[in-house]
Amino acid sequence: MGIHSHNFYIKGLEISLPIHLVQFSLPLHEFGLPEGCKNTDAVPSRNLFWNFFGAVAKLQQPVERLLETLKPNPSCILGDKYLAWTAYTAKKFAIPRHLFDGTSCFILLRNHNILESKLLDRISGLEEPFLVPGLRDEIELTPSQLPGHLNAASQGFRSLYQEIEESEKGAFGVVVNTFEELESEYVKEYRKVGGAKVWSIGPVSLSKSTDLDKAQRGNTASLDENNLGQIATLQLVELGLGLEASNRPFIWVIRNKTEEWEKWLEEDGFEERTKGRGLLIHGWASQVLILSRPAVGAILMHCGWNSMLEGICTGIPMISWPLFAEQFYNEKLIVQVLKISESVGAKAVIPLGEQGKSEMLVKRGEFKEVVDKVMAKEGKEAEVKRERARELAILANKATEGGGSSYLNMKLLIEDIRSYKTSNVHLG
């Protein structure tokens, strides 16, 4: 554990305070994880997610030992929703707690409505389509596209989410990495049904303003958001051949180099054939920095929320290829509601260990078709997507500037936390 002091300044909020950063060490080796696994993005395999959550749960005791030394008590605990133990720590030390949710109000409302309606109890098959109740937009899903805690094919996640849902009770509010203008109706509706205050303070990626900041954003390989590398070699081959057939320039970031993948690259000659218009990056690359370049015309992504926000902030249309978690939710938002993306046509969440099943593959022709559609220079549909993407980028940047919606929400959140000192706060 180490303690470091820095000056903390929130742009435009006239707050300049000393901040002490306390670093704790995760017991990675105890859970069979390599060094450097600071978050789920850095976990080398989805099969090791449970190990990572186990290691993170071990932080409760050192954090509580630290809190015992702090006088006075902190004004608030802001804990990621996956750190369920922070609920018990907050109650133990009588400290108000806010949750941080890294998704969106669109997702939070959909999960809430699906659970409250109990409609999944009336659906017999994984491929039976249903409309999510209580939404302004008609959003149709199948049970096979739902995230782990709602998906019968992902039983292991249910116990984790039951613990998370229990820990959410008694929270004073939810801090969400979104901005009001992106999903205003869903922010308003979730404020009504969520049972706690909702603060939309994003997009947080806009806090990085210089090229150096952007280049260092994340600085470790991303599993499902910033590159396309944790999938079966056969699927990577289909994607590569689809990109080649599109005959368009591309940058392709691939996280992990397996022997099977390297063998295909060497024997097939893909890199040589696409030399001059295709660039393969093996490992990590800054998505924010790449997307900020005006030559980039679109991004193909798995619909992780952070990646989607980064794409929205740079004002470019998207190609959506969801694989798991809430990614099918996010695809519905950018394809149907925001209308800035085209789908490659993925049908269902890929459960752990089933990445290589041939029936789950997206074929090369489907990749080529959607790339051609999004990148078309002529045609009203493609131009509408580009214009809408540019408009959202402007709104995202305004939200974080002085007087913007996220700026004001951050200011109100700070004032709300300050008020706990002078109000009669009851912790359940």
Residue-wise pLDDT for 79-137, tens only, equals 998 899 999 999 999 999 999 998 899 999 999 999 999 999 898 888 899 999 999 99
d(Cα 57, Cα 100) in Å, to the nearest integer? 17
Q: Is the pTM of this model over 0.75?
A: yes
d(Cα 169, Cα 163) in Å, to the nearest integer? 11
Spatial strand order in the sheet of 318-320 = 299-301, 318-320, 341-343
211-397 carries CATH number 3.40.50.720: no
Under the banding of pLDDT at 50, 70 and 90, the label for residue 47 is: confident
CB 330 within 8 A of CB 141: no
Q: What is the pLDDT of residue 299?
A: 94
Q: What one-character DSSP code corresponds to residue 338? A: S
* For range 319-334, the mean pLDDT: 93
Residue 333 has pLDDT above 90, yes or no: yes
Pairing of the two strands 278-282 and 130-131: unpaired
Percent of the chain exceeding pLDDT 90 equals 55
CB 8 within 8 A of CB 2: no
CB 328 within 8 A of CB 146: yes
Residue 417 has pLDDT above 70, yes or no: yes
CB 233 within 8 A of CB 258: yes
Under the banding of pLDDT at 50, 70 and 90, the label for residue 324 is: confident
200-254 tens-digit pLDDT: 999 988 875 555 455 555 544 333 333 444 567 888 899 999 999 999 999 998 8
Q: What is the pLDDT of residue 20?
A: 81
Q: What is the pLDDT of residue 209?
A: 57
Domain assignments of the chain as residue spans, ordered by start = 211-397
d(Cα 62, Cα 1) in Å, to the nearest integer? 9
Residue 5 has pLDDT above 90, yes or no: no
Least trusted range by pLDDT, from 170-184, 245-259, 402-416: 245-259
CB 108 within 8 A of CB 174: yes
Residue 159 has pLDDT above 80, yes or no: no
Q: What residues are paired with 99 via a beta bridge?
A: 79, 174
